[in-house]
Every structure is written in C-alpha cells, then in structure tokens.
Structure 1
Amino acid sequence: MTGPVLRHMGETKLELGPATQAAHPWRRGEDDGVVWLVLDCEGSLVNTIARAEIEGLAAELDRLEQQPPKGVVIRSAKPAGFAVGADIKQFDDMARDGATDMLRQGHAVLDRLEALPCPTIAVVHGPAIGAGLEIALACERRIAVPGASFGAPEVKLGLHPGLGATFRLPALIDPLEAMTLMLTGKTAHTKKAKSLGIVDEIVRERHIAAAVHAMLEHEADRSLGVKARALKFDGARSLAARQMRNETEKQAPKEHYPAPYRLIDNWEQHGDDRDAMQQAEIDSFTELLDTDTSKNLRRVFFLRQRLKDGPRGADDIAHVHVIGAGAMGAEIAAWAAVKGKRVTLGDVDTAPLGQAVAQTRKIAEGAHLSDIEIRDALDRMVPDPRGYGVAHADLVIEAGPEKVETKRKIYDSVAAQIKPGAILASNTSSLSLDDLKTAAPDIKRFAGLHFFNPVSKMQLVEVVRHNGTDKETITRLAAFCGGIDRLPVQVRDYPGFLVNRALTPYLLEAMVLMDEGIAKEVIDTAAIRFGMPMGPVALADQVGLDIGLHVGDSLKAGLDKPLAKISDDLRKKVDKGELGKKTGRGFYDWSQGTPRPDASLDDAPDDLTDRLILPMLDACIECLRKDIVGSADEVDGAMIFATGFPPFRGGPMHYARQRGTEDITARLKNLADRHGPRFAPDRGWSNI
C-alpha cells in the first residue's frame, strides 16, 4: 500500500459512498442525490486506463446525461491510489489498429464528463498520473487525500499527454507551471498540487463524505489568472515557448526526444484555441507513438517492470544492520529505514552516525513522507556505535573501505555475534567475493549487495553470488531489494561484476583520449550527444578519481582481456588529493556546479564516440558469454538504471541489435587495428 493515508489500511477504510456493488471496472451507487463512480480494475492492485475503463465510463455517462444527479464523485477503490495512467501494453495495439480513432473516442468520453450539467468531483488518494490525471482534470473540482500526487509522465515514454491534459491543465493552472509538469514528467505531491491549483481541497479520508457534500453547496471559481490571460496572446506564448525549448534542450535534445518539442509547438500555435489544441494533441500523440524513441522508452518501461517484478515472496528481513557510516553505508541505512526496515548503523567513529540520522531525515523529506512518517523512519534508524544490532539483524550489510584485509577483519569481528540464518552481504564494488568469503561466518549466506551512489536516487542493485552462495540467500536478497523499492539484477562474481566491468573501459578510454591531446570538453560532449547523461571525464570526477583508479587497477589484474592503460595524469591527481567532486577539483573545477560542456566536434576524431561506447558494449557481451548475467534484457536494464545508458536507445544490447552486430564487430576490429587489442571484439558477439 502506498500513500500516507493508506499506511494503516484495515483501521482506515476508503470512503466509497454507496458504490459497493461488485461491478467492474466502475462501481456505481447513489446517496442523497449524489452518484459515486468508483474505478476498480479487476484482477489488479492498481487502476490503469484502457479501452474497457473508457467504455465503462461512457456507459455510466449515458445514464447520468439522461438523469443528471445533484453531483458526481469519481474515485478509486484501490488502496494503491487513483490511477497510474494508461495501460502501456495497449500502445502497440493502438499504433497498429489506428491510434487516432481510439484517441478521439477517449476524448469524446472525457468531453462528455466535463460537460455534465451537474458538479463533478474527483477524490484522489495516492497517484493520479497520466490518464488518471486526465480523468481527474475532466472533473470540475478535485479533493486530495494527504499523500495524493498528480503527474503527466508521458514524456518518459517518448510521448506527451493524449487524453486532454495538454489543454485542460494549462486552462486550470498557471500555463507555464502546467507546461513544466508535462515537459519534465515530474509529480506534484499534495501540498504542491494545492498551491498550483490542481487541487481544490486537501481532506483526510474520514472527512471525505462531508467534504463532498460541502463542496457541492458552492460553485467553483474558474476565472483565469493574470499570467493565463497574458499567454492567450501569440507573442507572449512565442517568447515563453522559446525559453521552454532552450531549457528542454539542456536535458532532452530534440534529436533524441521529439515529444517535448511537439508539445511546445502545439501550445505555441494553438494555446488560445482549445479545439485546435485538442486536435493537435491527438495528431502528434499518434505520430509520436510510432517513433523509435517512444518504442524504445516503452521497452525500458517494461524492462523496469520485469526487474521490479522479479523478486517474488517474502524476504523475512525485518532488521538490517549496516557496518560503516560512510557515504554509502549511511545512504543504505537511511533508505532501508525510510522504506520500513528496522535499521542499526555501526561505525568506529561516532561523528558520521549523527550525520547519518540527519541524512535519513533529508531522504525521508525528499520521498514526500508526512511528518508522522518521517518521525517513524527516524525511530527505525538507530545509531549503534557498539554494534549491538549485529546479534539481532536478519541481514548485515558491510559497507567498509574497499580493502580485502579490512573487510576480513570486519567479518571476523561479527562472526561470533551474527545469528543463525542471518545473511552477511558486502557492498563492495570491485573486490572479488572469492577473496572475501573464507572470512565470512557462513559461506552459503554470504553474498554481494552492490548499491550505487546515491542509494536514494539510483534504482539498481547488483545481487552478487559466488560459487558457494546458496539459492535461498540470493532469492531473499533480491526480495529485500524489491521490498525497499530498488531494482535487483542477479550477477555472478566477476571483476567489476556487470556494471563496473562495462563502465570502466568507457572511463579509462576517456583518459587515454586526453593523453592523446583531445580536450576533456570534446570527449564529454561526444558522450552527451550520444545520449549519456554525463561525459566520462565528469563522471570519473563525480564517482571519485581514487575510486576509479582502484576499480581500474582491480579489473586489470583480474581480466583476461586488456584494458586501456591507466593514465599517469589520473594517478598524479589522486596523489595530489584532487579526487573530483568530493574535493572540489579533479579533471574539472566543481565550484561552479556539475560540468556539462557543449564543445564543437568539428575537429574531433571520427572514431571518438565509438572508442567510448563500443568497449562498453563489448564488455556487456563478455558478461553474457560468461554467464555473469542471465539475459540481454537484464544487461539493458542494469546499464540504463545504473549508468544512465541512453534510455531512448533501449539499452546497450538493444542498440547493438538495431545498429547491427556485424557493423559493430567490424568497427571494433578496425579500432583494434588502429589502437590496440583492447578493442578486439569478444567472441560472444556471434550469439547476439
């Protein structure tokens, strides 16, 4: 169950009015002249909006139009929330069967809802996103239960809203705020939604019925604000549209992400004409549905779902003890506490323990928890300088320094305390589990649990098994990751595991290119234009040059295939303490924020981008061939959610298939001839 109001379901029930009859997808009931329509998609924990839901609403509107009631309330019967948007599985059917006609039918139904000759109120708990938001917008007013959220995330699927939000949202709130929500795909949580004007009232669940009746006694004020009136003029919209394009280009280049630019164009041209805007929305949504960007982003959506749905069953992990309150350990502990686990955090130094508690509050606030939930999360997060929690923990996560001997000493120290059946997991990013396992209290219950920094934002976790880890341990760890809302991918012990094995050649090649005289800004620009969220030089700075150097040295010692020579300049910077972002200076000066260069590539080598990207793909192929990871889809998901590999390309393996494996292997052979054997294609390419 999600959403603050739903934390105690069983004690608190949803107010569904009289709509209790078991009909799907819409339940209907009437009380004191008010009709309650309650969405309840059969066989699902959440509501999605597809043909059946729209046709069911149309049937209910037939009755409401014939006999208009005193008012209509629309809400969800699902504890998880109002509705999470369109059924994405049907998008391929829409593209094949004629999206325009289907969209027109959906628009016609929501237009009828909007035009009912009686007040309509959407009561929203949990998320109302995508098509769920659009149904709520077609109602005259909206009541939010604390914990409700509103968003238009279609841009993340290479689309823009398709059921009326592009003209209803700018007509309801400040048009610039409306466009920002749709262009970024961000979510407006309860208080923000109220301040924007999406929500009329915030009401606790137990007062919903009274609030509905009180709202029906007063007419809504829908007069346009000053900014909305000003943006009715073409010149004002054109100026705003230019600014939107400039800001959007910084995060989502038009070449790769056409949807936001189509939305801006539609609004600039038709923002003063609802009918024209509606037709433009339908037309451009239909066209975008068939673009490679949207197809690939929809693929990424399903990759995420498969990783999320993979861990099944209970993890039986209620208490987590984290050893090491450094940057990673503190974030792991904080995130686990925010997600409901009881956590003890130990460290030889007490100072970082206090900082970790403050970090927990910050993460909880960022997750939009209520004040009570923040208090509960802080109660679950217990600083434990003496390590008493080890004896009670179901899972002990070691997040100590990346040194074999240090980690072995930690395992020796907990061996006498850890309880039978508990799992010991290392957060190591580069050390071999085979080198660590002999010091573990129980080899069968020892594994890797490699989080990525920052844990509160990075979704992926590598669940790493060595040849002695039992299956139950891996299953429980994967379920634990799912339970704290992270995406687990199961991998086998190998230098760098999967993600760092693939990412390291990308980073090291950037150093070689700098040694060859290519400016760091040119190198990073090439990667950004390919679609990476950050260039490799800036990424190395962000990760920490000392960490990158350690990982590079570790991998070179453990791999059969040669890596790029580790740059002398990198070693010198580490020796001088210029470690990147955390010290303020590495290859870049970080005092002005995150570097995101946009240099000219006119004089760049013609093989620059391939020298950066293709070794990453080749390493992924190596991991597949050696069964380090189970499938190409898991590789794609891991690289997208851990490294930001361009989602619009669908993942490195998907990109390789689309580009053509013969083309890639030929290019790698050519690079090997020119630059050395580190580019020689892995023999696993023949199996893709």
Structure 2
Amino acid sequence: MNGKHIKYNVDNDGIAFVTWDVADSPVNVMNEYTIAEFFSTIKRAIDDDAVKGIVINSAKKDFIAGGDLKWFLNYDKSKQECFDMLMQTNTNLREMERCGKPVVAAINGLALGGGCEVALACHHRIMSNHPKSHIGLVECSVGLFPGAGGTQRFLRMIGSQKTIQYITQAKKLTAEQALKDGLVDAVCTPQEDINSLAKNWIINKGTTEQPWDNKKFKVPGTPLGVGQVSGISEFFSVANAMVYKTTHGNLPHIKNVLSAIYYGAACNIDKALEIEARYFVDTLFSKETKNIIRASFLFINDAAKGKSKPKGYDNASFKKVGIIGAGMMGAGIAYVNAKAGIEVVLKDVSLSKAQNGKDYVKAQEQKKLENGLTTQGKIEALLEKIQPSDSDTDLASCELIIEAVFENEKLKNQVTFETEKVIKKEVIYASNTSTIPISQLAKASTNMDKFIGLHFFSPVEKMQLVEVIVGKETSEKTLAAAIDYVTSIRKVPIIVNDGRGFFTSRVFGKYINEGITMLTEGVPPAVIENVAKKIGMPVGPLAVSDEVNLQLMLAIMSEDPNLTTHEIQLKNTLINIIKVHRRTGKKEGQGFYDYPKNEKKLIWKEWATIYPPQASFDEEEVGKRLLLAMVIDSYKCLDSGIIREPKDADVGSILGLGFPIHTGGVMSYIDYVGAPEFALYSEKLALKYGERFALPESLKERIKTAGTNRVFYKN
C-alpha cells in the first residue's frame, strides 16, 4: 500500500522498502506533509513483526534534496509549535534508531540538509559514487542550520573540528569523501543494485545500535596541535573568534550553530537534540534568516532559472559565440562559454593577444588539475572549444557576438561597424560595457533591435551575475534570447533598462563616493574600511577605488553631464588626489593604499596630514552612510524604471555589489531596519550631509501608506 509521497513494500524476505517519491515535484523535499507520511510509514514497518529490517530509498534520481524552504519562509506557527514539531521529529528519528531492526539508507544522487539527517539516523549508509551524488548539511548556505539532529550526529561521528567546518561552510561531500570521513559505511557504483546491497547488509550483518547509544561512547574531542589550542573549550573559543572576525555578528545562524555544537557536546544525545532544536527555532524566527532564504532561495534561484524572460518566446540556444576582446573579461567570458559546451571564437587585434586569452583559460584549469578537480583530458576538450582569431571573417558563423573591448565609445562603435559587415542579420550583438548607455552604442548598429547589453562581472568565472541591459530599440525577442543565453552558461540574469552606469555600476559608485567623501571630512581611512566590513560589505570603498583605478573613475565622471553638486565636489577631490598627490590606484602601486612588492597593502600614512582626522566620529553613522547611499540610489533606479522590480535590485546588489545578504539586499534593507526608522535616519543624514540622503517623494508615500515596518515584502 502506497501513500501520496512515500511508497511501501515488504518483500518475501521480510525487508521493508520505504521509498521517497514526492508527488508533483522533480525532487524529494521535506515539509509537514512528506515528513508526516514518512514517519507513519516507518512506524508501520517498525510495528510489523514480519519486517526484519528497513531500507530507506528513493524512486527519483536523488535521495532527499532537503527541506522545503518555501515552507520555512512562510512558516506561520508560533515558536513553541515549531519547537514541538522539531522535538517530535527527533522522537521519531530516535525511535527509528532504537527500534531493534536494522535500518539502511540507500543513497542515490543528493542527500542534503534534512535528507542527510534522515540518513544519519540510519544504522548503515550505502552511497552511489555517481559524479552528481553528494551528501552534506548545507542549511547554512540559506541562513539556517540543521534542526533534525544533524549537528549532534555529525559531532558524534566526525568530531567538533570537521563538524564546524563542514556545517558552517555548507560542504557537499562526494561518496568517496563521505566514506573516508565515516559519514557513510559503503560505496557502490551507479551500475550496482544499491537496494540489493542494502538488503544483503541487513540479512548478513545488520546491527541495531547507534554508537552514541552505547554507554561507553564519548564525543570525539578536539585534537591537540591546532596551533596552541588543546581541549574542547579552548577550541570553541578560537572557533567563535574566527567566525566573528568573518561575520561580525551579522549572521545569527552561524552563531547559533556553534552554540548548538558546543553545548550539545557535553550532553547525552537526547538532551543535545533538544539544545539543537531550541537554537534552530531562534534562528528560523530571526529576520536575518528570513531575508537570506528569500534572497538566496527564491529571488536568486528564480533569476537563475530565467523566470524574468518575456513570455511567448521559444527557447533560444547558441552553439557558437564570438567574443571580441581577449583581455581578462573577454577571456573569462570565453571560459564560461566553453565550460557550458559552447564553441567560441575569441578575437583580438592580433593572434598572439587572442592566444593570451586562451592561455588564461588554460591557466585557470591547470590550477584545478593541481588540486585534483579536473583531468588533462577534460582540459584539452575544453580548450578545443576556443578558437583564437585576429580575423573578422571567423565571426561569420557565430550565432551571438559579445563585444568586450576597452571601455571607449569610439572604439566600441568601430568594432560594431566592422563586425556587422560579416555576421548574419539575425545575429544578436551584445556589448559588455559597464557604463556607456546601450542606446547610445546601438546607434553604431544597423540592427538596433538586435543590440543589447550583457554586463559580466570580473572575474567572470567566479561572479554569478549578468546585467541584461535593454536599449530603447532592443526587441523583446532579443531580450528573451539573451535571458536564455545567460542561464545556459549558468549565470544569473537581471533585466536592467538603459541608463548611465546601469544599476550595479551606478549604485556601487555611490558606495565608493561616500567612502571618499568621509575621508575628506576627516574620518580615518582605517575606520571607513573596517566599518564597511563590519556592516557586511566584502571590501572597503577605498580599497575598491584602488582596484577600479582613480583615473578611470575620473574619466567616467567627466563623461556624465548630469553630476550633482556632491559629485562635482568629489570630481574635484579626485583631480586633486591624482594630480597633486600622484595617487591613482593599485595598478600603479599607490592609491588610497600603498602596495609594496611582495608585502601586504597598507593605508597611505599621509592621509592624516592631507585630511586631518576628526576628534570624534560616530561609527554607526559611518556604516549607515555607506549603506543608505546605495539603498536610496537603488530606489531611485526602481522609481525611474532602470530596475523593473524590487527583487531585481536585491539580486543585483547581493551578487554584483556584495551587499550584506542578511539584510536581504538593497530594497529589503528598508524592511530590515523598519521603514519608519529608515525614513527618520535618512532625514537625519539629509539635514547633516545634503540632498543625496533625502528620500524621493514616492518612497515617502510608500512608507506612509504601508502602515507597517515593511514596504516591499510581507515576510
């Protein structure tokens, strides 16, 4: 007899097969319905005297992919009800562990999050070594941590050090890695019958006691020799300090998982499970976790699937792409295309420069080979897809062109003119410009409806985001095809309407501008940089300025005819820094920082002379100025139509700017701090520092009519 989500069968030898096969879903997910049906089926097998052992398996290509995050995001019950649910789950898993019948997990494909936790509660785990098979507790990647015993069973199986590392890093282990660590007991090939292997273990060797239920069991301690650390308490003190250095206390799920592991280590398994459940509840109900789940699971996942694609257009596919410009950006774009199985013509002004771009790809793959992450055969197959060229005629057979030459309008226009002589009329032409308006560049094209912007981020092979920029003449068909292309190379597209700086470059410029402005006001540069990291930004605005280069920043500002009073002042500041003090950036070895050869960068000590430090400063205000500068300008992008939806701004800010994910992104930030409080603080900054912090009237109206702390999202 089968349920809706769980199949049940007992064979002639008394082996019960409990098979996950969640209805109306491509993968097995855990929610209140599937979990309830699973445990009722397990209880049925436990209560049946004819059943000698139990095999938990899957009818889908994966074992269990984990918890249903939409369920968690929209969880509307009380903290007590959530705790009771977790404790009932733990009770059910403990009954399975102590039922007196051997239970085996037959793990095919993915066993992640809650799926891994179900497997850990079995007496024996067999895992297929298919390349796509992975096991792990990955909840930290979405702002949660394991809540069904994962922290405590990991702790008792692999010790505190690996438990902290694997859980906080959301590590996915291959079958071989899991076997080496003792998280699975056996590995089989995809060709072997994993269910028969599970059954044979039950019949021939089946044991029914978990190690932690043995009275002599002790939790593996922290090994000696980790620096000067010895003992569990000292190890956890160092672990806490290291985590705080990275997260600055902004991520409650990381703090709570460490607490659950630490306090659980001193208890028996049942008390430890209760401790974990209490910390999990505290995490689930935090606004930071809700933000991370919404941003990473819903918004970013939806964008990665191309949900923003205009309706009514067939799926477009590309077998051959031409990339013009073989510098770091062009080479990176060629790399991700080849990785996606697309043939590439990588063109530059000379064959040697084009070959240098291909060599960049080879060098990146060589690093992977040295770390055992690829093979020589795979590298050769990848490189065969990239054809270096110095001839426009080689682009004639390409189905998409991506121009990635130097950020100069005249040069880009010339490239467009020359390329369109050889390519077919139906070919889409994309520019990788980061600042020049697409509608302006499109004037050089004879097919303006096929002209679009694809703004990649550096390094391309690591950065997920691509801004798909729509010019005034870009057709919906071209946009739809561009979205299909971006998702096919495993990048995350957001649609941005045309405008100087588009979205990310424009908004990130406000972050940089505010950092430089505070330096000129006498806020110590070390304070600016450290506060930036403390609020959750990956790097300070002064260090970013050095990376971008002050000369380039000045050139971009000089091309903008609509600078504000504040931006004109900042432009004059840059001119002074460049011409008087000869500070231009990292490339030249001297910007806001000094860059001694083979030494760590240091903030230039003369800034204190040029801009005497303030006697006192408000650290909170420094952080708020950096964040609000981006948030307010992001809203202006939404208000003016540069960004079409608030969620696009959130995705773009997290993936493109490194905006702190615990806030949910630039638009979610308003809800995160509370709309009324946000408005009051903005007003305070506007009175003190000028109109750039004043809220647009439409945002004031949104806040006024919202009637709650939330303006954009309900939860």
TM range, normalised to the smaller chain? 0.7 to 0.9
Within 1, Cα distance between the matches of 2:615 and 2:423? 60
Paired with 1:659 and 1:652, the residues of 2 have a C-alpha distance of 11
The within-5 A match list for 1:462-477 is 462-477=467-482
TM-score, normalisation: structure 2: 0.83
The 1:111–1:467 alpha-carbon spacing in structure 2 relative to 1, beyond 3 Å, is same
1:516 and 2:557 aligned: no
Residues 1:294 and 2:289 are matched in the alignment: yes
Task: Give the Cα separation in 2 of the matches to 1:410 and 1:574.
Answer: 36
- Please list, as runs of the form range in 1=range in 2, the aligned pairs for 1:67-78 lying within 5 A after superposition: 67=49, 69=51, 71-78=53-60
* Kept in 2: contact 1:498–1:629 (CA 8 A): yes
Aligned residue number for residue 3 of structure 1: none
Q: Deviations over 1:509-537 (max 9, x none)?
A: 21122223322210012222222222211
Instruction: Give the counterpart letter for 1:109 in structure 2.
Output: N
Question: Counterpart in 1 of 2:70?
Answer: 89
Contact kept? 1:149, 1:188, Cα under 8 Å? yes
Cα gap change, 1:565 to 1:145, in 2 (>3 Å): same
The more displaced of 542-551 and 620-629 is 542-551
Conservation of the 8 A alpha-carbon contact between 2:137 and 2:146? yes
AA in 1 matched with 2:130 = P
After superposition, where does 1:662-673 map in structure 2 within 5 Å?
663-665=677-679, 667-673=681-687
1:120-135 alignment, distance < 5 Å? 120-135=103-118
Deviation at 1:573, TM superposition (A): 8.6
- Aligned partners of 2:87 and 2:50: how far apart in 1? 24
Q: Distance in 1 between matches of 2:325 and 2:555?
A: 19
> Counterpart of 2:56 in structure 1: which amino acid?
I
Distance in 1 separating the partners of 2:419 and 2:377: 34
TM-score normalised by the chain length of structure 1 = 0.86
* 1:174/1:227 contact within 8 Å kept: no
1:153 to 125, 138, 157: 138
Q: Deviations over 1:603-648 (max 9, x none)?
A: 3246423332222122112111111111222212211221121111
**Matched letter for residue 524 of structure 2:** A
Residues 99, 402 of structure 1: CA spacing in aligned structure 2 closer, same or farther, 3 A cutoff?
same
Which residue number corresponds to residue 6 of structure 1?
A: none
Structure 2 residue 427 is matched with structure 1 residue 422:
yes
| Residue equivalent to 1:12 | none
Contact 2:29 2:68 in 1 (8 A): yes
What is the alpha-carbon distance in structure 2 between the residues aligned to residue 331 and residue 249 of structure 1?
33
1:529-558 Cα distance to aligned partner (Å, 9 max, x none): 22222221122234444544444444x435
Structure 1 counterpart of 2:58, one-letter code: S
3-state SS in 2 of match to 1:96: coil
Aligned-partner residue type, residue 170 of structure 1: L
Question: Equivalent residues in 2 for 1:309-458 (5 A)?
Answer: 309=305, 310-311=307-308, 314-348=315-349, 349-359=353-363, 361=365, 376-386=381-391, 389-458=394-463
Greater CA deviation, 199-208 or 600-609? 600-609
Q: CA RMSD in A?
A: 3.6
Q: Which sections of structure 1, spanning at least 5 residues, go unmatched?
A: 1-20
1:392 counterpart SS class: coil
2:273 to 265, 278, 291: 278
Contact kept? 1:121, 1:143, Cα under 8 Å: no
SS at match of 1:512: helix
Aligned letter for 1:87? D
After superposition, the C-alpha distances for 1:558-604 in whole angstroms (9 at most, x for unaligned) are 55675251333785299968532x5665423565568899xx99932
Identity of aligned residues (%): 26
**Contact in 1 for aligned 2:679/2:700 (Cα 8 Å):** no
CA separation in 2, counterparts of 1:75 and 1:586?
59
The answer for the alignment partner of 1:169 in structure 2 is 154
- Match of residue 37 from structure 2: 56
Paired residue secondary structure (1:188): coil
Distance 1:188 1:610, change over 3 A: same
Query: Aligned letter for 2:505?
Result: N
Any idea what SS the aligned residue of 2:192 has? helix
User: 2: CA distance between counterparts of 1:468 and 1:673?
Assistant: 41
Counterpart of 2:652? 638
1:617–1:652 CA contact under 8 A, matched in 2: yes
Match for residue 258 of structure 1? 252
- Kept in 1: contact 2:127–2:188 (CA 8 A): yes
User: CA offset at residue 258 of structure 1?
Assistant: 2.0
Matches within 5 A, 1:533-544: 533-544=538-549
Larger Cα Rg: Structure 1 or Structure 2? Answer: 2
SS at match of 1:477: helix
1:23 CA displacement: 5.7
Tell me the alpha carbon deviations over residues 373-427 of structure 1, each in whole angstroms, 9 at most, x when there is no partner: 6555444344344355522222211111101111112112211222232211111
1:503 match: 508
Provide the rounded CA distance (Å) in 2 between the counterparts of 1:169 and 1:568: 54
Residues 1:192 and 1:639: Cα distance change in structure 2 (over 3 Å): same
| CA 1:268–1:677: 2 relative to 1, 3 Å | closer
Once residues 136 and 562 of structure 2 are traced to their aligned partners in structure 1, the CA distance between those partners, rounded to angstroms, is 46
**Cα distance, 1:609–1:165 mapped onto 2, change above 3 Å:** same
Gaps of 5+ in 2: 605-612, 703-715
1:187 maps to 2:172:
yes
Aligned mates of 2:565, 2:455 — CA distance in 1? 24
The 3-state SS of whatever aligns with 1:652 is coil
The answer on whether the counterparts of 2:287 and 2:672 sit within 8 Å (CA) in structure 1 is no
